[in-house]
């Protein structure tokens, strides 16, 4: 994970004390919120099940991710026997027993796709829920960044229990993968990666979202559509490729 230089946007990030690197991301499924046709309907139904943290669907979807990784060679580097999954919390500062990102992370861990799940990322303050906000009113990268914190007590316990995953002090050799349900522009994941980078300067940080949102000018041909790309900090905002 390397810092991606950018003129005005990078100055804004530095002023806020936030390191926003170029973040590798992967996703297994795609959906088109406003599209027509059976594939779009299937994608929206899948998104509803995921957002509801459906206990019957999440293990099935995690099994599909495993099949794509083990059977078809996707997501190399995103998952592995030494990878630690870090789930993205919901928009509220008060979380339930297990939010969707954490449930998904544990399902992926149970499929053998990672060594551990570390739920060390927390919201210190709530942000607007992106799913119900117009595009221009969704939280910015900097808003997400300000709302995130690393829970030091959990972090201490996890490191004591899993010190073999750390090659060197400072996190060098540590492989962390952020886990979220849906990626649109990548603002949430980029902000979370900034917080992880502060805590683990030498770690390799990647991200995985079960679904990625397609834009209005794109065509959804099938919901199962494994993809790997990158989220970058460009001109003060997140940009996702592809």
Q: List the 204-213 sheet strands across, edge first.
A: 116-117, 83-87, 175-183, 204-213, 23-31, 224-234, 237-241
Query: Is the pTM here over 0.95, yes or no?
Result: no
pLDDT digits 0-9 by tens, 95-117:
665 689 999 999 999 999 999 99
What is the CATH code for 26-233? Answer: 3.40.50
Q: Degrees (nearest 5) of the Cα angle 227, 228, 230?
A: 135
Q: What pLDDT is stored for residue 131 in this prediction? A: 63
Going by their DSSP bridges, the two strands 116-117 and 237-241 should be labelled as unpaired
166 and 159 Cβ atoms separated by less than 8 Å:
yes
Percent of residues, the chain, with pLDDT higher than 70: 81
Q: What pLDDT is stored for residue 92 in this prediction? A: 86
Residue 152: strand, helix, or coil = helix
Domain boundaries, the chain: 26-233
pLDDT digits 0-9 by tens, 19-77:
787 999 999 999 999 889 999 999 999 999 999 988 899 999 999 999 999 999 999 99
């Amino acid at each position: 994970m390397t810092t991606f230089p950018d003129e005005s946007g990078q100055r804004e990030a530095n002023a806020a004390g936030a390191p926003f690197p170029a973040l590798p991301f992967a996703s297994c499924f795609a959906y088109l919120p406003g599209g027509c046709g059976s594939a779009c309907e299937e994608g929206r139904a899948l998104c509803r099940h995921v957002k509801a943290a459906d206990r019957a669907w999440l293990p099935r979807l995690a099994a599909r991710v495993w099949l794509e990784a083990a059977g078809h060679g996707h997501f190399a580097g995103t998952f592995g026997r030494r990878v630690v999954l870090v789930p993205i919390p919901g928009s509220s500062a008060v979380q339930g027993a297990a939010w969707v990102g954490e449930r998904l992370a544990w399902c992926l861990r149970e499929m053998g796709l990672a060594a551990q799940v570390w739920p060390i990322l927390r919201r210190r303050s709530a942000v607007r829920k992106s799913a119900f906000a117009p595009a221009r009113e969704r939280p910015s990268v900097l808003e997400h960044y300000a709302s995130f914190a690393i829970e030091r007590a959990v972090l201490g316990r996890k490191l004591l229990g899993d010190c073999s995953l750390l090659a060197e002090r400072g996190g060098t050799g540590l492989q962390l993968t952020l886990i979220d349900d849906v990626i649109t522009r990548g603002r949430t994941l980029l902000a979370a990666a900034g917080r992880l980078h502060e805590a683990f300067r030498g770690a390799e940080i990647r991200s995985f979202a079960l679904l990625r949102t397609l834009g209005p000018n794109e065509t959804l041909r099938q919901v199962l559509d494994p993809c790997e790309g990158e989220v970058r900090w460009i001109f003060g905002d997140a940009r996702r490729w592809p």
